[in-house]
Amino acid sequence: MPSNFIRDIIDEELAAGKHEHIVTRFPPEPNGYLHIGHAFAIGLSYGIAQDYKGRFHLRFDDTNPVKEETEYVDSIKEDIRWLGAKWGDNLFFASDYFEQLYEWAVGLIEQGKAYVDDLAPEQMREYRGTLTEPGRNSPFRDRTPEENLDLFARMKAGEFRDGERVLRAKIDMAHPNLNLRDPVMYRILHADHHRTGNKWKIYPSYDYTHGQSDAIEGITHSLCSQEFEFHRPLYNWFLANLPVPHQPRQIEFARLNVEYIVTSKRKLLQLVNEKHVRGWDDPRMPTIAGFRRRGYTANALMEFCNRAGVAKRERVNEYSLLEYCLRQDLEDKATRRMAVLDPLKVTIENFPEDKTEWYGGANHPSDETRGTRKVPLTREIYIERDDFMEDPPKKFFRLGPGREVRLRYCCYITCTDVIKNTAGEIVELRATFDPDSRGGSTPDGRRVKGTIHWVSSSKNAPLEARHYEQLFTKPNPEEVEEGQTFIDNLNPSSEQIAAAYGEVELKNAQPGEPIQFERKGYYILDTDSSDQRLVFNRSVGLRDSWGKKKQ
């Protein structure tokens, strides 16, 4: 990744001899799937570790068993591997440190720096104060260390109900930063943990766990998104008041924002639970799994993150830049195939009914080493409906009555008749082909301006093509009228499904293989596919609006 303010800080610290080597980490909570913002954070932390020949840790901050699942742990690992980040032997869980965190909490109680509070959650919020008014001390704040130790041990033993008591750090209820107004360190939760089972009845808060886990692992730079800036004083308070083996430094950066995308895990979970999408990996979702299923590549996502850059202030990136990065990556990778998405039948009347001619088509126009495939021409074919006009304008160079076009790879045809149904709709075209034009040229050297793609009507691969638009209608999905929510901005046309036909070679498409449907866009085989039903997702169209705009 290019230089940025974080790298400048690291360079200064290395020059001053503060570190022998750099250690970064990515600390996801296993309560949902990773999204594009996480990809940005992974690329930043992993890139720094790589470039400075340091270590990169993957640590799951698994402190809330109510919302965490093994499914999320597995999906996060898969996504990070797919992005290309490698943690090696450095896989950790905050739950690995539960015993140590508990012991340190006991130490704070013994020093009079933590206490057990009996206030109900709504009372705690009332006592906390506001941004303009100081908070008030809890009536339980002055319990003796001995009483607090006894209550905390009983909390750990499971004697109390969920929410009946909490352990709080004793800092300053009048502090201008609300995060330092006696924050909660432990709460009671009678819930099975995905790794520790029912061993624990109390669980540490994220703010208490985060910095201490960094310290235990020897993290040098804890890179966080901007919303953690106001948590940093609390991060440092715990480090200063606990006998931690190491002092990491927290640095915040502006998170990645993209038009038409929401990255709140709570809202993404709502989309899934309310079945507005097919699941966490729906191709319309901004999750890494969703992008992968749609046909995005790890290179494209990382290039987008690099172009977005690391900054201190938040800004919104154009969705068209994301698509541009994907087109740039797929251009050289995608295998070429023909598919007709809105079929119109054409009968070539002078082509024998029982004959099939096979023509060679390049698998990639600029890479001869990738070879060719065979494309079958039969008497009846399908072309795109919008490749024909009954009364074409002057600059329409495709098929029309009496007009001649080139069929991609094979020959010239001329439209001789238009067949309509009783409603006046075009249902079929009649045409003739020039036998001397086989291979795409003629002895007399005449040229045609139009080349169209096509498939045989009898030797093809029936398929379902899923076309996607942005999930929301507004660049800022949170922009709503009074009484509305972001759900009201959902795009009803975000997924459109078409019954289509592709050339027979599409039956051999492999999972994860990018394919360009010629003249249509880039596609990928969907996980819903089977031997009986091919499903292709359009990753992105061929039109490059962002690149053209920047020229």
pLDDT tens-digit series, residues 115-170: 999 999 999 999 999 999 999 999 999 999 999 999 999 999 999 999 999 999 99
Structure tokens at 401: 């009555």
Please give the torsion angle defined by the CA atoms of residues 309, 480, 284 and 279, in that order, rounded to the nearest 10 degrees. 120
Domains 5-255 and 265-335+463-550 share a fold: no
Q: Are 29 and 95 in contact (CB under 8 A)?
A: no
pLDDT tens-digit series, residues 209-218: 999 999 999 9
> Nearest Cα to 266, choosing from 74, 471, 486?
486
Query: Which residues of the chain are modeled with pLDDT < 50?
Result: 546, 551
Q: Are 373 and 367 in contact (CB under 8 A)?
A: no
- Amino acid identity of residue 224, one-letter, is C
> Nearest Cα to 215, choosing from 97, 114, 109, 112?
97
pLDDT of residue 446: 85
> Nearest Cα to 341, choosing from 469, 461, 421?
461
pLDDT of residue 2: 66
The angle subtended at Cα 138 by Cα 170 and Cα 161, nearest 5°, is 95
Class of domain 265-335+463-550: mainly beta
pLDDT tens-digit series, residues 35-60: 999 999 999 999 999 999 999 999 99
5-255 maps to which CATH number?
A: 3.40.50.620
Structure tokens at 428: 């079929």
Q: Are 64 and 208 in contact (CB under 8 A)?
A: no
Q: Are 522 and 539 in contact (CB under 8 A)?
A: yes
Can you name the residues that pair with 93 across neighbouring β-strands? 60
Domain boundaries, the chain: 5-255, 265-335+463-550, 339-452
Structure tokens at 497: 């499904």
Tokens 């050339």 sit on residue: 503
Q: What is the torsional sign of CA 290, 294, 296, 298?
A: positive
Q: Are 286 and 272 in contact (CB under 8 A)?
A: no
In whole angstroms, give the CA distance from residue 511 to residue 505.
Answer: 14
Inter-axis angle of helices 5-15 and 36-51, nearest 10: 30
Structure tokens at 167: 């352990």
Distances (CA, A) of 248 to 181, 189, 216, 387, 444: 23, 29, 10, 62, 77
**What pTM value is reported for the model?**
0.93
> Nearest Cα to 516, choosing from 374, 299, 361, 334?
334
What is the fold of 339-452? Ribosomal Protein L25; Chain P (2.40.240)
Q: What is the torsional sign of CA 539, 541, 545, 550?
A: positive
**What's the mean per-residue pLDDT of the chain?**
96
Structure tokens at 98: 């539960």
pLDDT tens-digit series, residues 311-367: 999 899 999 999 999 999 999 999 999 999 999 999 999 999 999 999 999 999 999
pLDDT of residue 272: 97
Q: Are 454 and 406 in contact (CB under 8 A)?
A: no
Kindly list the catalytic residues.
Answer: 29, 255, 265
